[in-house]
Homo-oligomer: A and B are copies of this chain.
Amino acid sequence: MTYSISILPGDGIGVEVIDATRPLLDDAANAGGFDVETTRYDWGSERYLEAGSMMPDDAIETLEPCDAILLGAVGHPEIPDHVTLRGMMLPIRKAFDQQVCKRPSVLFDGVESPLRGYDGGDIDFVVYRENTEGEYADAGGHEHRGYPHEVAVQTAVYTRKGTETVVRAAFEEARSREGRLTNVTKSNAQAHGMVFWDRIVEEVSSEYPDVTVERLLVDAASMDLVRRPEEFDVLVASNLFGDILTDIGAIVSGSMGMAPSANINVEGHSPSMFEPVHGSAPDIAGRGIANPLATVLSVSMLFDHLGESEVARDIRRAVESQLADETAPRTPDLGGSSTTETVVEDIRTRL
Is B251's CB under 8 angstroms from A227's CB? yes
- In chain A, residues 214-273, which have Cβ atoms closer than 8 Å to a Cβ of chain B? 217-220, 222-223, 226-227, 239-240, 243-244, 246-248, 250-252, 256
Is A153's CB under 8 angstroms from B150's CB? no
- A187 partner residues in chain B, CB cutoff 8 A: 80-82
Is A142's CB under 8 angstroms from B196's CB? yes
14 A-B residue pairs with CB within 8 Å: A81-B217, A82-B189, A85-B188, A90-B189, A113-B116, A114-B116, A135-B186, A136-B190, A139-B192, A148-B160, A152-B158, A152-B197, A154-B158, A218-B244
- A154 partner residues in chain B, CB cutoff 8 A: 155-156, 158, 190, 192-194
The reply on A191 being an interface residue by CB < 8 A is yes
The reply on A287 being an interface residue by CB < 8 A is no
Q: In the bound complex, how far is the Cα of B250 from the Cα of A342, in angstroms? A: 40
Is A223's CB under 8 angstroms from B240's CB? no
Q: In the bound complex, how far is the Cα of B80 from the Cα of A94, in angstroms? A: 34
Say which residue of B84, B139, B244 sits within 8 Å of A219 (CB atoms).
B244
The reply on A157 being an interface residue by CB < 8 A is yes
- A217 partner residues in chain B, CB cutoff 8 A: 81
The reply on A195 being an interface residue by CB < 8 A is yes
- Count identical subunits in the complex: 2
- A219 partner residues in chain B, CB cutoff 8 A: 243-244, 246-247
The reply on A86 being an interface residue by CB < 8 A is yes
Measured CB to CB, the residues of A under 8 A from B are 75, 80-82, 84-86, 90, 112-116, 135-136, 138-142, 144, 147-161, 186-197, 217-220, 222-223, 226-227, 239-240, 243-244, 246-248, 250-252, 256
Is A82's CB under 8 angstroms from B135's CB? no
Say which residue of B136, B153, B197 sits within 8 Å of A189 (CB atoms).
B136
Say which residue of B159, B223, B251 sits within 8 Å of A151 (CB atoms).
B159
Q: In the bound complex, how far is the Cα of B247 from the Cα of A81, in angstroms? A: 27
A14 to chain B, nearest CB (A): 15
- A194 partner residues in chain B, CB cutoff 8 A: 154
A148 to chain B, nearest CB (A): 6
- A250 partner residues in chain B, CB cutoff 8 A: 223
Is A193's CB under 8 angstroms from B226's CB? no
A337 to chain B, nearest CB (A): 20
Q: In the bound complex, how far is the Cα of B118 from the Cα of A115, in angstroms? A: 10
- A186 partner residues in chain B, CB cutoff 8 A: 135, 240, 243
The 6 closest A-B pairs by CB, nearest first: A140-B192, A154-B193, A81-B188, A152-B196, A150-B160, A219-B247
- A80 partner residues in chain B, CB cutoff 8 A: 187
Q: In the bound complex, how far is the Cα of B222 from the Cα of A152, in angstroms? A: 24
Is B240's CB under 8 angstroms from A226's CB? no
Q: In the bound complex, how far is the Cα of B150 from the Cα of A158, in angstroms? A: 9
Is B248's CB under 8 angstroms from A223's CB? yes
Q: Which residue of B lies closest to A84 (CB)?
A: B188
